[in-house]
């Protein structure tokens, strides 16, 4: 009886298995679309010709680059040889033919150990038909990989060769460094072992006696021995035998080497000692001052050059904490004194004095912010007195009405309008440090999205962001911004005013307001400690910086502290900037000096911050997300 073969159970699909679909080639054209149109022979030939032309152009560019690199290396090699000849003439003069400069390397002769240089043959094909097997014709032939540019390609185009070592030494020595050429006297030849013995005569010489090594003598009747008391083991030596051979430090090699060395006395080596900045100032003072400038240049620097350099920071479209670079300072110096008359270099008087004044310019905004907040407190006191007088007048009028009504008389002054007293909750109480601290805490409150603060908006409501209006139009920021208007007024009339919006000045004004509010956080102004760097309004605390990578990561992030609102300011139109500057003009103090005058001469240069930022761009891998805040 045969047993039926069990059927294979059907394969069940899991619930997460992908659905069954039809191949794209089997789908109807109504769903998949028409089939791909085949290219004609003309189109294929045109595409191949374009690809070949692109390859030829790329190859030509590569050959041009290789030739340029080879020419540069040849020029460097010739320059090295020229400088070596200028320092000291070599001992053995050699006639050098043309560009073929092949100095002797390192005092050793490579001889036949080094193969001759063979220029590669471009006609050789790595994938020639002779190397293909017979069965390779039936298989698909793949295109060879493009040859990468190597060092040999550059060497093939060079006309000089590089060698290691010192070219001025003799090259007639072997690699093992034999001292045959250094010995002044020839070596004596050894006698052959099988030579005939000399005739014996006279007395026979005594045999050579080998003296035993020196050792200390011991006496059995003494309890002391050389080297200290003897140990219990009688066989142990008390003193170590003297060491054979030469002892002590090795002697100096006194062989004559004058034949292979040559010292040139006409080009002695001079030691150049770099002078310090204090030495440049004559050893007096720790900072540069106007006295170190060339004669008759200090007045123009104070009245003309300094305002122009400050405007570079005021109109900067990058981090305003970066001092202007040296080329920009040079342009302004040429603009004031004439082209090429004075040169601005780092760590010199021009660069340092201009950087001092730039640091002073940033601190002017802090002074303006302090004045703005003090003005708010004084304004509150005046408003409080006016409200108190209004409340007293209102109470007096109410008592007079009540007295008239009690007498049954009509109020003769019923038509008089008593000025309305604003409710008390519409004003912040700024009469005590506690109330001032509450007001400062309100101004430093972050918005709902965390991008702005209450001190940035003229109208602000924490629960309803739609009520925000007047971005950077508060009294504190506008009054602080008047420091820039004072700078514009100090530019002499002979120079045109800048047309670029003052991005940098407004950014510094915003930061100065935030800095001053932080000093008022306790309700009382706390002056910064000069010994604490964290209390300074400096680049170390307020400029952009690159954050360190997180643990386990190599990506860095640029933290935007100064340029956080730069994109927002760049989105403002020219009319908005004109309106903003005109509104700030109304708040400008009347004590500001007119255009053409400058008070930089009275400001001491010692106020320059020692933590001035470096004029190098950040190198980061990742930046903070940039945003633009709309003005409502």
Domain ranges within the chain, ordered by starting residue: 290-376+428-623
Taking the mean position of all CA atoms in its chain, how far away is CA 404?
82
Nearest alpha carbon to residue 309 among 600, 619, 17: 600
**Are the C-beta atoms of 555 and 549 separated by less than 8 Å?**
yes
Among 139-143, 209-213, 367-371, 417-421, the range with the most confident prediction by mean pLDDT is: 367-371
pLDDT at 476 over 90: yes
* pLDDT confidence tier of residue 191, bands split at 50, 70 and 90: low
**Are the C-beta atoms of 477 and 456 separated by less than 8 Å?**
yes
Among the ranges given (271-285, 525-539, 592-606), the one the predictor scored with the smallest mean pLDDT = 592-606
**Are the C-beta atoms of 225 and 216 separated by less than 8 Å?**
yes
Q: How far apart are CA 381 and CA 632, in angstroms?
A: 31
Among 114-118, 178-182, 337-341, the range with the most confident prediction by mean pLDDT is: 337-341
Nearest alpha carbon to residue 171 among 97, 228, 222, 108: 108
Among 157-171, 212-226, 455-469, 485-499, the range with the most confident prediction by mean pLDDT is: 485-499
Give residues with Cβ within 8 angstroms of 85, minimum separation 6. Answer: none
Q: What is the mean pLDDT of residues 82-93?
A: 69
DSSP assignment, residue 304? Answer: I
Give start and end residues of each alpha helix (H) in 207-314. 277-280, 298-300, 306-314
* pLDDT confidence tier of residue 477, bands split at 50, 70 and 90: very high
- Residue 409: the pLDDT is 56
Would you state the structure tokens that stand for residue 219, as one six-digit string?
């006496």
pLDDT at 219 over 60: no
- Residue 311: the pLDDT is 92
Q: What is the mean pLDDT of residues 158-177?
A: 59
Over the range 377-415, which residues count as b (16 or more CB within 10 Å of their CB) and which as e? eeebeeeeeeeeeeeeeeeeeeeeeeeeeeeeeeeeeee
Rounded (10°) CA dihedral 177, 180, 184, 189: 150
Q: What is the mean pLDDT of residues 18-34?
A: 72
Q: How far apart are CA 122 and CA 63, in angstroms?
A: 13
Give start and end residues of each alpha helix (H) in 232-348. 277-280, 298-300, 306-314, 326-337
End-to-end CA separation in angstroms for the chain: 95
**Pairing relation of β-strands 545-547 and 469-471?**
unpaired
Would you state the structure tokens that stand for residue 271, as one six-digit string?
């030691």
**Pairing relation of β-strands 557-559 and 622-623?**
parallel
**Pairing relation of β-strands 457-459 and 469-471?**
antiparallel
- Residue 264: the pLDDT is 42
- Residue 145: the pLDDT is 76
Q: How far apart are CA 104 and CA 531, in angstroms?
A: 62
Q: What is the mean pLDDT of residues 46-75?
A: 92
- Residue 233: the pLDDT is 56
HSE-CB for 129 with a 13 A CA cutoff: 1
Higher pLDDT, residue 161 or 632: 161
Q: What is the mean pLDDT of residues 477-505?
A: 91
pTM over 0.75: no
- pLDDT tens readout for residues 393-422: 777 787 788 777 777 655 444 444 444 444
CA angle, 157 then 159 then 164, to 5°: 105
Q: What is the mean pLDDT of residues 288-317?
A: 89
pLDDT at 532 over 60: yes
Nearest alpha carbon to residue 51 among 43, 39, 61, 62: 43
- Residue 499: the pLDDT is 86
- Residue 364: the pLDDT is 93
Backbone angles phi, psi at 311, to 5 degrees: -65, -25
- Residue 35: the pLDDT is 67
> Residue 155 class from Cβ within 10 Å (0-12 exposed, 13-18 middle, 19+ buried)?
middle
């Amino acid at each position: 009886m045969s047993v039926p073969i069990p059927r294979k159970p059907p394969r069940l699909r899991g619930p997460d298995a992908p659905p069954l679909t039809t191949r794209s080639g089997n789908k109807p054209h109504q769903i998949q679309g028409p089939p791909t149109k085949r290219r004609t022979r003309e189109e294929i030939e045109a595409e191949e010709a374009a690809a070949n032309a692109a390859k030829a152009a790329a190859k030509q560019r590569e050959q041009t680059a290789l030739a340029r690199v080879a020419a540069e290396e040849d020029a460097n090699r010739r320059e090295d040889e020229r400088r070596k000849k200028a320092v000291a003439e070599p001992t053995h003069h050699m006639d050098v033919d043309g560009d073929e400069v092949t100095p002797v390397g390192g005092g050793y002769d490579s001889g036949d150990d080094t193969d001759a240089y063979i220029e590669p043959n471009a006609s050789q094909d790595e994938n020639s038909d002779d190397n293909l097997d017979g069965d390779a014709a039936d298989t698909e032939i793949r295109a060879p990989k493009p040859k990468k540019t190597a060092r040999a390609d550059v060497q093939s185009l060079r006309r000089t060769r590089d060698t290691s070592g010192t070219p001025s030494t003799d090259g007639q020595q072997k690699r093992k460094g034999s001292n045959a050429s250094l010995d002044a006297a020839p070596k004596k030849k050894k006698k052959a072992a099988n030579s005939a013995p000399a005739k014996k005569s006279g007395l026979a010489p005594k045999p050579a006696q080998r003296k035993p090594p020196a050792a200390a003598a011991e006496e059995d009747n003494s309890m002391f021995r050389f080297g200290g008391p003897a140990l219990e083991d009688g066989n142990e030596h008390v003193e170590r035998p003297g060491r054979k051979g030469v002892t002590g430090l090795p002697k100096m090699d006194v062989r004559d080497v004058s034949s292979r060395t040559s010292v040139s006395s006409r080009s002695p080596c001079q030691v150049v000692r770099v002078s310090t900045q204090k030495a440049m100032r004559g050893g007096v003072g720790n900072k540069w001052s106007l006295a170190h400038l060339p004669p008759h240049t200090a007045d123009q620097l104070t009245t003309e050059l300094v305002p122009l350099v400050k405007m570079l920071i005021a109109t900067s479209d990058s981090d305003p904490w970066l001092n202007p670079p040296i080329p920009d300072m040079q342009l302004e110096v040429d603009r004031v004194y004439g082209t090429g008359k004075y040169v601005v270099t780092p760590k010199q008087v021009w660069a340092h004095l201009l950087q001092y004044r730039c640091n002073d310019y940033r601190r002017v905004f802090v002074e303006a912010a302090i004045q703005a907040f003090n003005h708010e407190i004084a304004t509150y006191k005046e408003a409080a007195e006016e409200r108190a007088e209004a409340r007293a007048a209102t109470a007096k009028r109410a008592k007079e009405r009540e007295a008239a009504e009690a007498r049954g008389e009509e109020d003769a002054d019923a038509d008089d309008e008593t000025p309305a007293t604003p409710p008390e909750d519409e004003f912040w109480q700024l009469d005590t440090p506690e109330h001032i601290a509450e007001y400062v805490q309100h101004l430093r409150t972050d918005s709902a999205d965390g991008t702005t603060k209450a001190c940035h908006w003229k109208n602000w409501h924490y629960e309803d962001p739609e009520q925000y209006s007047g971005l950077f139009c508060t009294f504190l920021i506008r009054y602080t911004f008047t420091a820039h208007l004072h700078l514009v007024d100090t530019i002499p009339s002979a120079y045109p005013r800048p047309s670029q919006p003052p991005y940098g000045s407004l950014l510094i004004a915003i930061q100065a307001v935030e800095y001053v509010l932080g000093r008022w956080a306790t309700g009382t102004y706390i002056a910064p400690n000069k010994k604490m760097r964290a209390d300074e309004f400096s680049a170390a605390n307020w400029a952009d910086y690159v954050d360190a990578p997180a643990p386990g990561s190599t990506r860095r992030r640029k933290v935007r502290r100064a340029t956080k609102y730069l994109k927002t300011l760049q989105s403002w139109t020219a009319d908005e900037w004109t309106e903003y500057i005109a509104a700030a003009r109304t708040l400008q103090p009347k004590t500001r000096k007119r255009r053409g005058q400058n008070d930089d001469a009275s400001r001491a240069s010692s106020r320059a911050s020692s933590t001035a930022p470096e004029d190098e761009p950040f190198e980061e891998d990742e930046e903070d997300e940039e945003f633009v805040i709309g003005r409502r």
